[in-house]
Chains A and B, each alone.
Chain A
Amino acid sequence: MSEEKKDHKKEDFEPKIVGFLCNWCSYAGADLAGTSRIQYPPNVRIIRVMCSGSVDSMYILRALLEGADGVFVGGCHPGDCHYIDGNYKARRRMVLLENILGTLGLEKERVWLRWISASEGQKFADTMKEMTEAVRKLGPSPIAKHWNL
């Protein structure tokens, strides 16, 4: 297979993205995108959580090790957390997880944290488009073919 054809194949692949969205902002944002009939790629599988601060690094690792091509975490904008400071804690946790993934060379680019409010349906759709394309560029997760984990 020529290089060109291989690249073409890569572009064809549909990434599987697991999205953890906080109940109060990002999930409502996703809902608004839906009710406003804004189109976005169907690659994301949304899981509603009460707060981005409740997303333990375990959840993200589990998704990655099971073969997800990307993991998205959505929370309220800094200062707007329903539980006052959950998103600040989520941010620290994400910094730590990215650091560890970096040390082990496990493609931290596949894990995204973004702040999306309940009124930002358009931003949610745009972010999903952006992430789907970015992950498509990265190609299928190399973890997906490892069954011995």
Chain B
Amino acid sequence: MTHKVIKVKDNDVVGSTNDFLRNLLSSGKIQALLVPQNTPSKKVAFPVLISDPKKFHADIVAPILPASTATIVSKMTKVQPPSKPIGVVMRSCQIRALIELVKLNQASLTNIVIIGVDCPGTFPINTYTEFPEKKTPTQFLLEAWTKKSDEAEKYFRSACRVCKDPIPTNADIILGFYGADIEKEIIVEAHSEVGKNILKELPLEDEEEWKSREKAVKELREEKAKKRAVFLKEKEGLKGIDKVSEFFDKCVNCHNCRQACPICYCKECLFDSSVFDAEAYKFLRRAEIKGLFKMPNDALLFQLGRMNHMILSCVECGLCEQACPNNIPLMDVFIPAAENAQKEFDYQPGKDIKEKIPMIVYREDEFLEVGEK
């Protein structure tokens, strides 16, 4: 692992990281960067693919995740990966999702340099665009961070509050805030050969091991694990058909959650297929079973079916919840379900690119009690 440092000038964290990324882009080591940048209205930050260093005004701290970066990388690499390296700036949940998409043959890491950024958490899109404080969301977040206060917590998306790991894994280069005094410095680490080669040629000061980071990361993970345990305990009561049907009562079967999900990649989703179109008499026959049934039909079947299909790869990014037009707090069921299902198969999505997705492999000598009396 290579350890470097970005010196923060004039207390300008975003500007200093931008200098680093601009240098990286100018160095010719990568031909373009996928990085969040505020749109001209400054109201929202979207991932942009930048090839011209002069147009570079990114904001990697911007606490917003408008769309799945993993899906964007999948779209850029699935047909044919780039012939020269592209740097992609990603948060930990999106790197996990990208690893899952690679396992599902929906993305390639050929010539993709993953630049992971420590994630303090993100706000819902509308909170970001209509931010109630007098500062920009980025300033507010950075100030809260330097003060070590949790005043940004109340704005976070629920998925971020109980994030299982805000520290990127499987990145080539990591830009770290945890363990650094961000008024002065930002941690840069290379975690792969590719990352090392890139950092070698950039004008960065060397740093010995980041002991402070190790400690800060450990503490952060412990704190997150505690919050998660409390959350899981709280949601344990959501059991039984009465509560489950009440929970999904507002679902209009629009499939936005599936559209936003980085894992749901199927070109033709079963739930959009003609399986759900039928002759009128079949609808009537279904009505006769219970006397009546709710339309649009099969909303709960969609939710539970989608859960069955993707939960083992669920990276808990919460984009489904953000996409819901009726504000169903989907993470309340998806996080406990992911926790239990992934534990059952001893599988952590996004952890190891060589590990196969549980539903495509099996062992003859497992789950022997299932299928027998």
Residues of A within 8 A of B (CB): 57-58, 61-62, 65-67, 75, 78-79, 85, 87-89, 91-100, 102-106, 113-115, 142-149
Contact = CB atoms under 8 A, between A and B. Distances in A.
Q: What is the interface residue range for chain B against chain A?
A: 35 or more
Given A103-B337, A105-B244, 9 more contacts: A91-B370, A95-B344, A96-B341, A96-B344, A99-B341, A100-B307, A106-B240, A142-B242, A149-B293
Name B's interface SS: helix
Contact of B305 (A58, A79, A93): A58
B258 to A, nearest CB: 14
A149 B299 contact: yes
A102 B241 CA distance: 12
A66 B340 contact: no
B245 A149 contact: yes
B340 A102 contact: yes
A149 B290 CA distance: 11
Interface of B: 238-245, 248-249, 270, 286, 289-294, 298-301, 304-305, 307-309, 311-312, 333, 336-337, 340-341, 344-345, 358-359, 362-364, 366-367, 370-373
Name A's interface SS: helix
Contacts of A93: 359
Nearest to B363: A88
Given A57-B308, A91-B367, A142-B241, A147 B292 contact: yes
A88 B312 contact: no
A89 to B, nearest CB: 6
A3 B308 CA distance: 38
B340 A99 contact: yes
A96 to B, nearest CB: 6
Contacts of B294: 147-149
Nearest to A112: B371
20 contacts: A57-B305, A57-B309, A65-B304, A78-B371, A79-B364, A88-B364, A91-B370, A94-B371, A96-B341, A96-B358, A103-B333, A104-B304, A106-B244, A113-B371, A142-B242, A147-B291, A147-B294, A149-B245, A149-B293, A149-B294
Given A58-B305, A100-B307, A85 B290 contact: no
Nearest to B333: A104
B210 to A, nearest CB: 39
A103 B308 contact: no
Contacts of B241: 106, 142-143, 146
A109 to B, nearest CB: 13
A115 B371 contact: yes
A75 B371 CA distance: 9
A94 B345 CA distance: 12
Contacts of A89: 359, 362
B305 A66 contact: no
A114 B289 contact: no
A104 B337 CA distance: 8
Residue in B241, B293, B300, B333 whose Cβ sees the most chain A Cβ within 10 Å: B241
B359 A96 contact: yes
Contacts of A92: 345, 358-359, 362, 367
Contacts of B238: 104-105
Contacts of B364: 78-79, 88
Nearest to A95: B367
